[in-house]
């Protein structure tokens, strides 16, 4: 009997210890964890119409406005939040705990302008912590690495595999700190911690024009100076058009903002079903960097389907629509994606103007990838290096960028060295399209003016665009 009682006592003692251990574990574990932390902060701002808008994670061009940025940062401080502030104008990085600065260190360098690693203003979160991240492009190690939002990193001084530090002028990018400071930041930052990035937008010079519109066949069109938002010529620019004009370009933007360009995408049979290009091999892996070349230069259906399929087409469509909404593209929708072709898309000339403005200011490398000019010094030789850009305005020296929709392969003309042109897949025809976007750059009065031309529902979008360009060029003499 005594032995049995002793066993019962021992059993209850074990159960009691296990219970206490569980309670203590649940209580203490959050404080002992060094990696996984949930930061459930909400920042609400007042929109121009008076409604409250919740600030979402991602690129926010508005955060280039110092007043808007200060308002967001002050809300974090008032909430006694843990967060990181990366001020790329002051070149200072600050770590906050409970709304107070606990660490402030100088930023040694930032992402090179126009590169994949140029970090635009926005609200992000620390996605991971790596003692050493190896970049297969630069072939260097990045110590004390904190990746956030796909391609962007905070890290220490890069070095080669033999231990040699990179040169002072090395322009791999991201937010680079001296190792001493990078290690301190690395210790303070937890995975999931918000990262608020600010860089003041360049001032827009005062500029004006006096113009009369040319006669065009397009139902909706505009020509606008992106540097000062001046509409040079416009007609029905809020008219909704059924077109997939911006779909692949938006797809490239979303993919580049959510995935690292080194990410390997394995091609499945579903990804190439319904396409007929034969570039991609089922079972093979391609970097996002490689897929963007045919996607942007030719409007490749296979490449588009592969990128979207990696996310899941429905999820990818949602990300594209969320991105469009964040840019104020209120009349732009993206429909069903089948065989690399988008069905049921809409947009307006006004929405395209907002989109082009965002690209020029925040994602210029997307434009560069759509040309035949490749900078392989950092990114390496793409798999599809022989892919040429196509559009009906080939060879014009004042254009920037170049690509056509996937159904426009029949369009005539040589590969363009410069231009950004997207055509409607549903109405593509040899030598021209019904819808067209063209981004150009004109020298004027000691500076270059970025001018976008949008032409929708035209009898000849190419001719209408040429007529607008010819008219606007006279204003720059």
Q: What is the pLDDT of residue 360?
A: 87
**What's the Cα-to-Cα distance from 308 to each of 16, 119, 302, rounded to whole Å?**
52, 23, 10
Domain co-membership, 289 together with 427:
yes
Say if 214 falls within a structural domain.
Answer: no
Share of the chain above pLDDT 90, in %: 25
* 141: pLDDT strictly greater than 50: yes
pLDDT in tens, 426-449: 344 334 457 888 888 888 777 788
Residues 187 and 236 in one domain: no
Structural domain total, the chain:
2
Say whether both 235 and 301 belong to one domain: yes
- Residue 10 belongs to some domain of the structure: no
Instruction: Indicate the pLDDT class of residue 101, thresholds 50, 70 and 90.
Output: very high
Q: Say if 307 falls within a structural domain.
A: yes
Domain boundary among 165, 198, 231: 198
Closest C-alpha among 375, 414, 373, 421 to residue 248 = 421
Residues of the chain above pLDDT 70, percent: 72
The pLDDT-based confidence of 206 (bands split at 50, 70, 90) is: low
- Boundary (domain end) residue, out of 166, 198, 230: 198
Instruction: Please determine, for residue 134, whether its predicted confidence score (pLDDT) is greater than 50.
Output: yes
What contacts 120, CB < 8 A, 6 or more positions away? Answer: 59, 61, 197, 199, 361, 362, 363
Of the pLDDT bands very low, low, confident and very high (cuts 50, 70, 90), residue 195 is: very high
Cβ burial, residue 37 (10 Å; 0-12/13-18/19+): middle
pLDDT band (50, 70, 90) for residue 138? low
Render pLDDT for 22-56 as a digit per residue (tens, 0 to 9): 333 333 333 333 455 656 667 776 654 566 667 77
Cα–Cα distance, 363 to 366 (Å, whole number): 6
Q: Considering the domain boundaries, does residue 403 fall inside one?
A: yes
The tokens describing 432, both together, are 């021209």
Q: What are 285-296's pLDDT values in tens digits?
A: 999 989 998 888
Are residues 238 and 130 part of one domain? no
* Nearest of 227, 166, 196 to residue 89 by alpha carbon: 196
In a domain, 73, yes or no: yes
Burial class of residue 458 in the structure, from the number of CB atoms within 10 Å of its CB (0-12 exposed, 13-18 middle, 19+ buried): buried
Residues in CB range of 368: below 8 A, 6 or more apart: 114, 375, 401
Three-state secondary-structure class, residue 390: strand
- The model's confidence at residue 316, banded by pLDDT at 50, 70 and 90, is very high
Residues 318 and 445 in one domain: yes
Res. 183 pLDDT band, cuts 50 70 90:
very high
More confident residue, 322 or 244: 322
**280 and 148 fall within a common domain:** no
Structure confidence by residue, pLDDT tens digits, 223-281: 988 888 888 888 898 999 988 778 888 999 999 888 888 889 999 988 888 777 788 99
pLDDT at 423 over 80: no
Q: Residue 376 — pLDDT band, cuts 50, 70, 90?
A: low
Domain boundary among 198, 232, 261: 198
Q: What is the pLDDT of residues 46-84, one digit of tens each?
A: 654 566 667 777 777 777 888 888 988 999 999 899 999
User: Which runs of consecutive H residues, i.e. helices, occur in 240-393?
Assistant: 247-258, 269-272, 288-297, 301-311, 313-326, 349-362, 364-369, 376-379
Same domain flag for 183 and 243? no
Answer yes or no: is 207 within a domain.
no
Q: Is residue 5 part of a domain?
A: no
Tokens of 389: 């850009």
CATH of the domain at 131: 2.40.440.10
Q: Please tell me whether residues 465 and 345 are part of one structural domain.
A: yes
- Check which CATH number belongs to the domain holding 269 and give it: 3.40.710.10
| 402-419 average pLDDT score | 38
Reading the block at residue 422, the tokens are 């997207």
Q: Are residues 236 and 155 in the same domain?
A: no
Residue 1 located in a structural domain: no
Tell me, yes or no, whether 316 and 442 share the same domain: yes
pLDDT of residue 318: 92
Residues 53 and 130 in one domain: yes
Boundaries of domain holding 60: 44-198
Nearest alpha carbon to residue 332 among 319, 348, 349, 314: 348
The answer on 293 and 364 residing in a single domain is: yes
């Amino acid at each position: 009997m005594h032995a049995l009682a002793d066993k019962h006592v021992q059993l209850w003692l074990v159960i009691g210890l296990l219970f206490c251990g569980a309670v203590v574990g649940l209580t203490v574990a959050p404080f002992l964890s060094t990696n996984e932390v949930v930061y459930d902060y909400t920042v609400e701002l007042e929109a121009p119409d008076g409604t409250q808008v919740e600030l979402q994670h991602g690129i926010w061009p508005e955060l280039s406005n110092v007043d808007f940025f200060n308002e967001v940062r002050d809300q974090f401080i008032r909430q006694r939040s843990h967060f990181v502030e990366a001020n790329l104008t002051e070149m200072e990085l600050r770590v906050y705990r409970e709304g107070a600065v606990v660490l402030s260190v100088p930023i040694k360098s930032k992402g090179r302008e126009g590169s994949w690693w140029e970090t635009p203003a926005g609200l992000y979160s620390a996605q991971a912590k790596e003692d050493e991240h190896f970049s297969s492009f630069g072939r260097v190690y990045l110590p004390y690495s904190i990746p956030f939002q796909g391609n962007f990193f905070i890290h220490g001084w890069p070095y080669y595999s033999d231990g040699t530090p990179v040169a002072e002028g090395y322009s791999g990018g991201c937010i680079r700190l001296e190792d001493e400071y990078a290690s301190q930041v690395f210790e303070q930052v937890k995975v999931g911690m918000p990262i608020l990035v600010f860089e003041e937008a360049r001032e827009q010079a005062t500029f004006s024009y006096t113009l009369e519109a040319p006669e065009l066949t397009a139902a909706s069109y505009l020509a606008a100076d992106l540097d000062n938002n001046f509409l040079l010529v416009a007609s029905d620019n809020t008219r909704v058009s059924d077109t997939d004009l911006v779909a692949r370009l938006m797809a490239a933007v979303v993919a580049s903002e959510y995935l690292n360009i080194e990410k390997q995408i394995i091609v499945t049979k579903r990804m190439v079903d319904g396409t007929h290009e034969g570039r991609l091999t089922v079972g093979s892996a391609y970097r996002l960097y490689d897929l963007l070349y045919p996607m942007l230069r030719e409007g490749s259906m296979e490449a588009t389907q592969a990128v979207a399929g990696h996310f899941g087409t429905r999820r990818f469509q949602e990300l594209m629509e969320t991105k469009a909404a964040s840019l104020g593209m209120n009349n732009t929708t993206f429909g069903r994606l089948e065989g690399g072709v988008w069905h049921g898309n809409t947009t307006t000339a006004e929405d395209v103007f907002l989109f082009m403005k965002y690209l020029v200011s925040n994602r210029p490398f997307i434009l560069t990838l759509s040309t035949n000019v490749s900078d392989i010094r950092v990114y390496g030789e793409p798999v599809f290096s022989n892919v040429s850009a196509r559009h009906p305005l080939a060879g014009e020296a004042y254009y920037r960028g170049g690509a056509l929709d996937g159904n426009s392969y029949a369009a005539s003309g040589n590969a363009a060295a410069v231009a950004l042109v997207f055509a409607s897949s549903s109405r593509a025809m040899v030598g021209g399209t019904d819808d067209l976007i063209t981004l150009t750059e004109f020298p004027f009065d000691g500076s270059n003016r970025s001018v976008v031309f949008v032409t929708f529902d035209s009898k000849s979008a190419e001719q209408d665009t040429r007529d607008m360009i010819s008219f606007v060029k006279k204003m720059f003499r």
